[in-house]
Structure formats: structure tokens, C-alpha cells
């Protein structure tokens, strides 16, 4: 997978070259190119923003700069080849989910546009949507200063699903949300720590009982913390034992 990120703070994306993602880049499983948006400015101040039409606080990112940047970064898409998907992190976006991470992992190329200030002039999104799929995506209902942090989160969630990136592919299959539920509590040695013992069932060796216990804890945690996820499960997702909980 090829990943391009356009930002006014390229250094913010340095963590993409660390740890698991760094190893995936070194192994050639993904390629990451980070582009400084100011490359496509033509004034001495390298201005990327301007006052919003209609007034109001803050500044809006200029369409000319973004238009030239995306034209250059996406480049001419060879005929017959699918264009990349453009992902624009924004608080006004569709909530990013594990299901979307799987969708994005099937793409051969992703381009991320990192907005700052009050966002990117809407015409940039509208223009881009005439020649490539565009997703405006939110990683949460809180206010960040820009899209870079969201790109780090989305790229990590997507890259770990790519074949060869995770040491143990089973990890991705047993992800939180993979069965629509939150993961339950996890334990490791020692058996007792500060007077708190590991639940006996986890040391019983009874794999059926362990699976049941883990499922029950996941259902309890999901019901308590994310009832919306429980409500979204298809009726067939809960078996008789689940309903007895
Ligand atoms: N929440 C937020 C923001 O405030 C700014 C850029 C991107 C996001 N987001 O992806 O959630």
C-alpha cells in the first residue's frame, strides 16, 4: 500500500516511521510519503490560509494551495487504474470504525489531507470528489488542532491489517470490535499482585470455560460502556448463553 500525507507539519508524522509501521515500511509492505503543503504556495509568506467568507473566528485553508497540492501528489492516474482514496480527517466527518479500517486496508493507495485552523475550503473536497473517492472521517467527538493525529491513528489501524505487518495474523482476527464487542479484561503473571488474584478460570486449562468467561466479560463490558455496540449486533450474533447473562 502507498500512503501519501499532505500537511503543514510534516514532523508530526514522524511516528509513522517508528516500531511496527517503521518495520512494515522497511519490509516494503507500505510506502509512506509526507508532503509539506507549503511546497505549493507562491508567495513570500507561504500563506496557506485566509479569513472565512461570512466572517467568524479563525482562518480557512486556501483552495488554490490545496488544489495544486492534490493535483501534484495524486498525479495523473493511468487510464484503467483506480484513483487513490482521499481521506480528510475532520470533526465533521463520518465516525472512523474498525470496519472502515478493513475497507481502507483493501485499497492500494490512500492520500490523507491534514486540515488545520477552521478546516479546508469546501471546494477542495468537492473538486477532489469529481476525480477520486473522498471520505471525510472523524476519529472522535472532541476538538483537535489539526488532522495529523487522526492520520496517525487511521494509518496504524489500517496498516496493522495488511498481510505481513502483524507478527501473528490471529491478533487481527481477535481484535476488539472484530465480533462487535469490546474486549474483556486481560491478565498475565504473577498469579497474585498486590493481593489481587488472576480469575481461577483463566488458570483452569478448561478452554471451553475460558472462552465462555471471556465472552461474558466482553458482553458485560460492552453493555456497560458501549450499549450502542450491543444494540447494533445482528440478532444472530448473540447465542442462548449470551442472552442468559
Ligand atoms: N476531531 C478532529 C478535529 O478537531 C480536527 C481534525 C480531525 C478530527 N478528527 O478526525 O476527529
User: Residue 245: its pLDDT value, please?
Assistant: 82
pTM for the structure as a whole: 0.93
Stretches where the chain sits below pLDDT 70 are 169-175
- ipTM of the complex in this document: 0.98
Q: Which atom of ligand 1 is nearest the CA belonging to 150?
A: 10
Q: What single string gives the DSSP state of each residue in the chain?
A: -EEEEEES-GGGGGGGGSHHHHHHHHTTS-EEEEEEGGGG--STT---EEPPTT--SS-EE-HHHHHHHHHHHH-PPPTTSPPPEEEEEEEEEEEP-HHHHHHHHT-SEEEEE--BTT-B-HHHHHHHTTTS-EEEEES-SS--SBSHHHHHHHHHHHHTTSTTTSSSHHHHHT-TTTTSS-------S-SEETTEEPPGGGGS--HHHHHHHHHHHHHHHHHHH-HHHHHHS-GGGS-HHHHH-
Q: Which atom of ligand 1 is nearest the CA belonging to 114?
A: 6
User: Residue 170: its pLDDT value, please?
Assistant: 67
By most ligand atoms within 8 Å of CB, the mutation choice from 91, 94, 113, 148 for ligand 1 is: 91
User: Residue 77: its pLDDT value, please?
Assistant: 87
User: Residue 168: its pLDDT value, please?
Assistant: 74
Amino acid at each position: 500500500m502507498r500512503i501519501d500525507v499532505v500537511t503543514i507539519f510534516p514532523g508530526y508524522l514522524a511516528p509513522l516511521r517508528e516500531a511496527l509501521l517503521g518495520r512494515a515500511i522497511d519490509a516494503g509492505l507500505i510506502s509512506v510519503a509526507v508532503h509539506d503543503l507549503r511546497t505549493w504556495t507562491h508567495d513570500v509568506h507561504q500563506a496557506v490560509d485566509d479569513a472565512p467568507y461570512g466572517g467568524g473566528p479563525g482562518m480557512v485553508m486556501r483552495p488554490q494551495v490545496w488544489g495544486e497540492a492534490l493535483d501534484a501528489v495524486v498525479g495523473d492516474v493511468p487510464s484503467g487504474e483506480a484513483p487513490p482514496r482521499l481521506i480528510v480527517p475532520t470533526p465533521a466527518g463520518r465516525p472512523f470504525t474498525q470496519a472502515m479500517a478493513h475497507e481502507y486496508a483493501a485499497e492500494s493507495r490512500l492520500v490523507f489531507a491534514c486540515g488545520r485552523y477552521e478546516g479546508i475550503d469546501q471546494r477542495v473536497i468537492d473538486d477532489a470528489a469529481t476525480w477520486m473517492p473522498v471520505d471525510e472521517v472523524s476519529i472522535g467527538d472532541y476538538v483537535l488542532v489539526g488532522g495529523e493525529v487522526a492520520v496517525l491513528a487511521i494509518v496504524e489501524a489500517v496498516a496493522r491489517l495488511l498481510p505481513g505487518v502483524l507478527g501473528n495474523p490471529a491478533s487481527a482476527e481477535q481484535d476488539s470490535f472484530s465480533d462487535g464487542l469490546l474486549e474483556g479484561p486481560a491478565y498475565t503473571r504473577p498469579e497474585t499482585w498486590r493481593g489481587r488474584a488472576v480469575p481461577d478460570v483463566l488458570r483452569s486449562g478448561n478452554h471451553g470455560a475460558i472462552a465462555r468467561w471471556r465472552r461474558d466479560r466482553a458482553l458485560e463490558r460492552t453493555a456497560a460502556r458501549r450499549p450502542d455496540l450491543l444494540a447494533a449486533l445482528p440478532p444472530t450474533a448473540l447465542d442462548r448463553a449470551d442472552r442468559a447473562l
